[in-house]
Amino acid sequence: MTGHKVTSEVLVERDADRSRKVDSTDGSSSNNAVSAFLFEYPAHMRKSRSENGPLEYDEDGDLVLERNKKGTILIEHSISTELKLVGLQIWRGALLLGDYIISHPQVFRDKVVLELGSGVGFDSIIASAFAKEVVCTDVDIGGILKLIEKNFERNRQLVNAKVTVTELNFLDPNWNATLKTKIGKVDVIMAADVIYDDKITDGFVKSLARLLDLSGGCQTYVALEKRYVFTISDLDSVAPMYEEFLRCIERHKLNWSIQEVKLDFPQYFDYERLSQMILMKIEKC
């Protein structure tokens, strides 16, 4: 339906006090907000006191231990959008992938990481804390690429990697020169919440297949939420977009290994980790 807008469950679930509206530069009403996503730094993201300076002792001669450090990621995002601009919001899959990145730094450390459908850049920002280089991509509509750059600037204290923000449109095979120069260097590909529409899903599968061919094969992590609906034809609840994703792989005769990652890693961000959420590890056989 033209003009119909959707709102991410993440915004609905969150405490409104952690978000504030953004004033537009031209004085018009803005549909954007900046939200603070809080997390506790795990041990591997905290520097020891010995790295920061001499050890400290209290008046009784006991070693002063560093307290757990709280981290904040500030993200500007839209409050509601039309379906074609849902990347301007944050969805649960991005938070799940963010948890995985923080829990498994060895997968991303000193690697070149390419994110597809980056949206507001949330997971690319997290990966940039560990990676050597992050290539953050999305379709260049609705100011998405500019918004990604602004969010990286908001969180520059977390960023340790070289960052490139450039366009990759799943529906356009004519990739730009910047992207083409990066593909052969990519070690890890990741994506979250990009499977929500038949046409986009097919484009994503074809784009990923091409990337895996050109990169020589690398690990890919895809996070999504199976959204179940009841259909008369099936007389059952089905997850149509997840099933369409699997059909696309079969239709294009792709020899991929798909493994569901166990969701037994820690949860650092505040969201409801539903049973229908999945994280897939995909590799070219």
CATH number at residue 117: 3.40.50.150
Q: Give pLDDT tens digits for 31-64.
A: 899 999 999 888 788 754 444 455 555 566 554 4
Is 240 within a domain? yes
- Please provide the DSSP assignment of 132-191 as one string: SEEEEEE-S-TTHHHHHHHHHHHTTTT--SEEEEEE--TT-----HHHHHHHTT--EEEE
Whole-number pLDDT of residue 153: 97
Q: Inform me whether the pLDDT recorded for 227 exceeds 80.
A: no
Higher pLDDT, 70 or 152: 152
Specify the number of domains making up the chain: 1
Length of the chain (residues): 285
Residue range 176-180: mean pLDDT, rounded: 97
Would you say residue 176 lies in a domain?
yes
Task: Indicate whether 41 belongs to any domain.
Answer: no
In a domain, 47, yes or no: no
Strand-pair category, 19-21 with 5-6:
unpaired
Q: State how far the Cα of 24 lies from the Cα of 255, in Å rounded to an integer.
A: 48
- Whether residue 46 lies inside any domain: the answer is no
Work out the number of other CB atoms within 10 angstroms of the CB of residue 32.
Answer: 16
Q: What is the mean pLDDT of residues 145-152?
A: 97
Does 106 map to a domain? Answer: yes
Q: Say which amino acid occupies 173.
A: P
Residue-wise pLDDT for 77-93, tens only, equals 998 888 888 889 999 99
Structural domain for 227, as ranges: 85-284
Q: Is residue 39 part of a domain?
A: no
In a domain, 177, yes or no: yes
pLDDT at 106: 96
Q: What is the pLDDT of residues 207-223, one digit of tens each?
A: 999 999 999 879 999 99
Cα torsion 223, 228, 232, 236 to 10°: value is 100
